[in-house]
Amino acid sequence: MGRWVDIETANGRRWKGTLVPSHDLSGDRVIQLKLDSGYNIGIRIGPKDIVRAAEPPSMDPEPEPSEPPAVTVEQPNEGRWVALLTTGGTIASRVDYRTGGVRPVKTEREVLGFFPDLERDGPVRLVPVSDRLSEEIVPSDWVELAEHVVRVFGEGAQGVVVAHGTDTLAFTSAALSFLLEDLPGPVVLVGAQRSPDRPSSDAFTNLAQATRLARYPELGEVVVLMHEGLSDDRFAIHRGTRVRKMHSSRRDAFRTRDGPPLGVIEGEVISFHEAIRPRSAGPARTSGALDPSAAILWYHPGLDPRRCGAFSQGLRGLVIAGTGLGHVSLAHLPWIREALGSGVVVVMTTQCLEGNADPFVYSTGRELLKAGVLYARDLLPETALVKLLWSLGRSTDPAEVRRLMLSDRAGEFVARHLPVETP
């Protein structure tokens, strides 16, 4: 790769350029060449075509682009620092055009190269934690991440920013919300819907605002910061347990369900719509392990009860995303009873993603309740799953797990559903 080649095809055509990696979806026997003009083209190589190594041509008289002048910001490199934990994902990665893949940024220099004004308000320490796309993250990573947060607070960080892939960012924010206790400062999860190698990336503004929020003195909880709306000038602060990625590509994909976001940043102003959890005197600590033996079942018409019975085998907990107020066909009652009988904690949430799961309105709900299904009010299915992993990690007693599930730990329940539109 990167070599100059001279290709002569059987029909006499010649191509000169640099070999570049072919696209994953390129055709068979197609090689990709970067021409002098900068265009890439695909050439299908036949048995009679000749590919030779070639000398690079003398380049245009174009002067080599000089390094951009260092942006000299007067850096107040004193004061308390913010820890930037990177886990991979769009925000902390760049496309590597030589291999065609995405790779994470690893060094502080590289991050500051992308985000030159990151240290405008004070020093930022980079802590690389992992470098995976967020769909590859597993519950044990949440625990490790929580331990990193505890460690950097112990070392004197004022606040913590976690750069994370957006796909499962809301799971991680919920997990950190349940795992972390006595936070002496904010833990701000942030992502980007456009990679920072694009001039239009939302990574720049999101990271800058997340870093600002991490210095907010009164905040002592886990939040998510992303765009609010499609413009680069408003940012929503979401509570870690109430947020969900609601769009596959928009900048404002993250939405707090069942109410307005916790707060908003507009210009220089950070404001909160409701009471925030104040910071604690510390020290921060994590509360135990997660038991990964739980899963989510998304109910739909025609879902085969036998399949579900098999699915629940070997689990200690199961979250059902039921229809409406939290229903499944009564044909599912037998396997649910069986699972409950063998000690599985079955938690009902609503696949509407807003409003309560409520067993008392319809007979189906009452039947499920009588069987022992735990109705988890307005917990998002994903939050319910994470909370279940955490509860199972705390206790082996199903009754205690059920008690933990229903007690508010990190603002995950909304007591009053107000007659306002959710953005």
Partner 1 sequence: MKAGLEVHQQLATGKLFCDCPAELSDDVVRTVSRQLRATGGENHTIDPAAAFQASRGLTYRYEATLSSCLVELDEEPPHRLNPEALRVALTMALLMNATPLDEVEVMRKIVVDGSNTAGFQRTALVAVDGSLDVAGKTISIPTICLEEDAARKVSEQAGEVTYRLDRLGIPLIEIATGPEISEGPEARAVAEEIGLLLRSTGRVRRGIGTIREDLNVSTMGGARVEIKGVQDLRRIHQYTSHEVERQEFLLEVTAELRSRGASVPDSPAKEVSQLLGARAEGPIARALRGGGAVLGLGLPGFGGLLKSREGSSERLGREFADYARSAGVKGLLHSDELPSQGIDEFVAQKLRATLGATASNDAFVLVAAPTASVSRAGLEAVRHRARIALDGIPPETRDPLPDGTTRYSRPLPGRDRMYPETDVPPIAITPTLLEEVRSTLPERPELARARLVAEHKLSEELARQIQRSGATDRFLELVKRGHPASGVARILTQDLASLENSLPDWEADRISIETLDALLTAVEWGEFSKEGILPVLTELAKGAPSFEEARARTGLTRLPYVELRALAQQLVDQNAEMVRERGEDSFQPLMGDLMKQVRGRCDGKAVAEALREALADGPAPKGT
Residues at the site binding partner 1, with contacts judged by CB under 8 A: 13, 20, 23-27, 30, 32, 34-44, 60-63, 65-69, 71-72, 95, 97-98, 100, 114, 194, 196-201, 204-205, 229-233, 249-251
Supply the minimum distance, in Å, between the C-beta of residue 65 and partner 1: 5
Active site residue: 167, 197, 258, 358, which one? 167
Q: Is 245 a catalytic residue?
A: yes
In angstroms, what CA-CA distances link 399 with 162, 208, 346, 374? 34, 44, 12, 11
Please give the single-letter amino acid code of residue 201: S
15, 92 Cβ separation under 8 angstroms: no
269-272 and 285-286 as β-strands: parallel, antiparallel, unpaired? unpaired
Half-sphere exposure of 88 (CA within 13 A, CB side): 16
Q: Is 141 a catalytic residue?
A: no
Beta carbon nearer to partner 1, 69 or 419: 69
129, 105 Cβ separation under 8 angstroms: no
What CA–CA distance (Å, rounded) separates 297 from 311?
Answer: 9
- Note the Cα 229 to chain centre separation in Å: 18
Q: Is 167 a catalytic residue?
A: yes
Active site residue: 168, 211, 245, 256, which one? 245
Beta carbon nearer to partner 1, 100 or 305: 100
Supply the minimum distance, in Å, between the C-beta of residue 185 and partner 1: 28
37: tokens are: 């003009």
Beta carbon nearer to partner 1, 105 or 180: 105
Beta carbon nearer to partner 1, 63 or 302: 63
Tell me the torsion sign for CA atoms 100, 167, 252, 187.
negative
What CA–CA distance (Å, rounded) separates 195 from 336?
Answer: 44
Supply the minimum distance, in Å, between the C-beta of residue 201 and partner 1: 7
Active site residue: 86, 87, 90, 168, which one? 90
Beta carbon nearer to partner 1, 55 or 62: 62
Supply the minimum distance, in Å, between the C-beta of residue 8 and partner 1: 14
Supply the minimum distance, in Å, between the C-beta of residue 122 and partner 1: 20
Element (H, E) at 160: strand 159-163
Active site residues: 90, 166-167, 245
